[in-house]
Structure 1
């Protein structure tokens, strides 16, 4: 599977504003096969415990070398900080996930069937490979390496359809606020 490319369209201190922007983007998307993917860098049991209640199937590991992990059957609370991931979750889990985070850097990615045609920029309907919206919570980047006190919304597109990102932003009254970057997953 090829990576998508993402461009930020909103940065805000108000998480509910970020969610409203996501909802406006989803309102123009083809939501067949909608699912949610999560990533978080968890450093406390205060966050870990409720996250595992919301996402009991979540996978986790420590560092890039994966010294300890859910695959090995290790206890995550004994190995903090950890990288937690959950794939293909139901949309109903978003609120509980966000409520569990406190100041933890995390991403919520909405994965769906496609973007609408953008005839103004010469693009037909966009397929699922580049059709995502990501809300970065307490972090500025998709890789979870730049902690922040604000939140950022990214639209994802195929690299060859880069002009779709500013078009999507314009459809909801916004504009891109940064460059196009390759998404990590």
Structure 2
């Protein structure tokens, strides 16, 4: 199984603008099997409480102390900061997740069946493992290593279909604004 490759198409301080770009991309995607994956670096007990209340199946491990984790039965509040993850969630959880963050660096990844054909760049239907959109909230990178006051939107494609990314950006009135990076998951 290979990772997808992501290219940034928007950097904005306006979360609503970022969500409009995501909605535009989702509007042209094959959303069969749509699910949402989340990652966050949580330092605040209040944020932790809100997120665990919203997504109780989430997992976590202590940043810098990977022996402390949900699997070990530890209390996450005693090990802040933690890296928190929730996988295969429903799209309806996105608004609550974004509201709960309160400045916390996080990613929201929409995972779906595929991208539409892009005949203008010589590409047919773009299937799974390269069909994602990621919104980086309060952070600039997919690894959550560059906290920021603004947000980024990335489109994911297969490496050999890199030409699809600029085409996708154009479909929502944007352009690629940075280099391609291998997605961490």
Shift of 1:65: 5.3
- The residue that corresponds to 2:128 in the other structure is 128
Distance in 2 between residues matched to 1:64 and 1:46, nearest whole Å: 21
1:20 maps onto 2:13 in alignment: no
Shift of 1:114: 0.1
- The residue that corresponds to 1:53 in the other structure is 53
Shift of 1:64: 5.8
SS of alignment partner, residue 8 of structure 2: strand
- The residue that corresponds to 2:78 in the other structure is 78
- The residue that corresponds to 1:175 in the other structure is 175
Give per-residue Cα distances to partners, 1:51-106, cap 9 Å, x unaligned. Answer: 00111000000136512000011110010000000000000000000000011000
Q: Is the 8 A contact 2:63 2:80 kept in 1?
A: no
Displaced runs of 4 or more, over 3 A: none
Distance in 2 between residues matched to 1:17 and 1:35, nearest whole Å: 22
- The residue that corresponds to 1:96 in the other structure is 96
TM-align CA RMSD: 0.8
Give per-residue Cα distances to partners, 1:124-180, cap 9 Å, x unaligned. Answer: 000011000000000000000000000000000000000000000001111000011
Distance in 1 between residues matched to 2:22 and 2:83, nearest whole Å: 24
- The residue that corresponds to 2:163 in the other structure is 163
SS of alignment partner, residue 128 of structure 1: coil
SS of alignment partner, residue 99 of structure 2: helix
- The residue that corresponds to 1:113 in the other structure is 113
SS of alignment partner, residue 27 of structure 1: helix
SS of alignment partner, residue 147 of structure 1: coil
Distance in 2 between residues matched to 1:23 and 1:128, nearest whole Å: 19
Unaligned runs of 5+ in 1: none
Distance in 1 between residues matched to 2:42 and 2:181, nearest whole Å: 24
- The residue that corresponds to 2:144 in the other structure is 144
Distance in 2 between residues matched to 1:166 and 1:83, nearest whole Å: 32
- The residue that corresponds to 1:34 in the other structure is 34
